[in-house]
Amino acid sequence: MIRKYAIAAVMSVAIIGTAAPSSAETLRLLTWGGYAPDAVVQKFKEETGIDVEVTLSNNEDMISKLRATGGAGFDLAQPSQDRITGPQEEFGIYKPIDLAKIDTSLFLSDLLEASKRNTTYDGQVYGVAHIWGTSGLVVDRSKAPDIKTFADLCKPEYAGKVSMRLKRTALLGMAFSAGTDPFAAYGDTAKYSEIVDQAAAKMSECKANVKAYWSGSDDLLAMIRSGEVVASEAWDATGFKLNAENPDINFVAPSTGALGWIDTFALPAKGEADDAAYKWINFVMRPEIAAQIVEASGSFSASKGSDALVPEALRKAYQEAFPADVIANIKWFPTIPAGLEDIEGKALDRVSAQ
């Protein structure tokens, strides 16, 4: 998708403001932009009689909303797999998934197992895979053919011609490009701080190369389309979108590995429409429905066979960016231990202030 650009908002099918009380015919869905297109919502209602109220959000906002209510107000949420066990341990905002109510034959087994493994808490699974993608580089290869890692964004010949966000993805990508493995240091706060500080120092050195730090998709797309920016840290869906307009531009997975995420289905602790939630999960994982969501979001689904049904241009951009060896080298975001994001935040604040 043009993925992490979603902000808390309410679609036309949603109740504006605080989510309304559920009924037997209503599913209150807390999700990302593009994950519940109007046409999919309408078809679900036609088949099941269930209305879907869609509230758009992001990881931080989902946790905040559910934490504030103790897991009430919504019936199905879609946090990333690395944002489930920590908040569950700390706040108890989810309930376990009943895998017997999910048609697991609809899922790509590797992604399903990865999400189950990474969302297991106290012996129970709290999330299953839906949409996945990566963070890496979007590059105009006609103008910057040698950019292969995050560190390459700092080459002097690209001064004033690159972009990135002041977010943890750029920080972690810079760490991997330096030959370190920040994920392997998750259990060692001192080591992690050292790695993050080194990556932040590199980002500070790179500031002269940054045309502008982007925070939303429109800004980044405009800079790349105009040629002001020839390469940027970005999500893969940005590259796919631009590739449809200009074949010289596409997502480039860093040689040190793209950073991989999986957005899941998770049940809020005090959700009141579990049966409707399971029906929605099984509905949107059907390949023909999943392909519509891929087209709307720009990111690929854990639905088996859905990739063959997406528009040709998107399928070709994906296949070019993700041959088998690149997929095998993806660095999947593990569960974030408490306190690490504070370390990252302070490091990014230093970059911003310098």
Q: Kindly report the CATH number assigned to the domain that includes residue 247.
A: 3.40.190.10
pLDDT, position 100:
98
pLDDT of residue 269: 98
pLDDT score at 324: 85
**Predicted TM-score of the model (pTM):** 0.81
* pLDDT given at position 327: 87
200 and 343 share one domain:
yes
The residue range of the domain holding 235 is 135-259+331-353
Query: Cα–Cα distance between 294 and 42 in angstroms, integer?
Result: 17
**The amino acid at 101:** K
Record the tokens describing residue 239, joined without a space: 């590259």
Same domain for 240 and 267, yes or no, is no
CA-wise closest residue to 171 among 199, 144, 147: 199
Q: What is the pLDDT of residue 235?
A: 93
pLDDT of residue 213: 96
Q: How far is residue 138 from each of residues 108, 162, 163, 195, 240, measured CA to CA in Å?
A: 26, 10, 10, 24, 9
- Rounded to 5 degrees, φ, ψ at 209 are -85, -15
- 281 lies in the same domain as 144: no
The C-alpha atoms of residue 349 and residue 116 are separated, in whole angstroms, by 34
204 CB neighbour count, 10 Å cutoff = 15
Q: Which residues of the chain are modeled with pLDDT < 50?
A: 1-23
pLDDT tens per residue across span 133-170: 999 999 999 999 999 999 999 999 999 999 999 999 99
How much is the pLDDT for 7?
Answer: 37
Q: Are residues 349 and 320 in the same domain?
A: no
**pLDDT at residue 337, as a whole number:** 85
Domain count, the chain: 2
DSSP E strand stretches across 141-192? 162-164
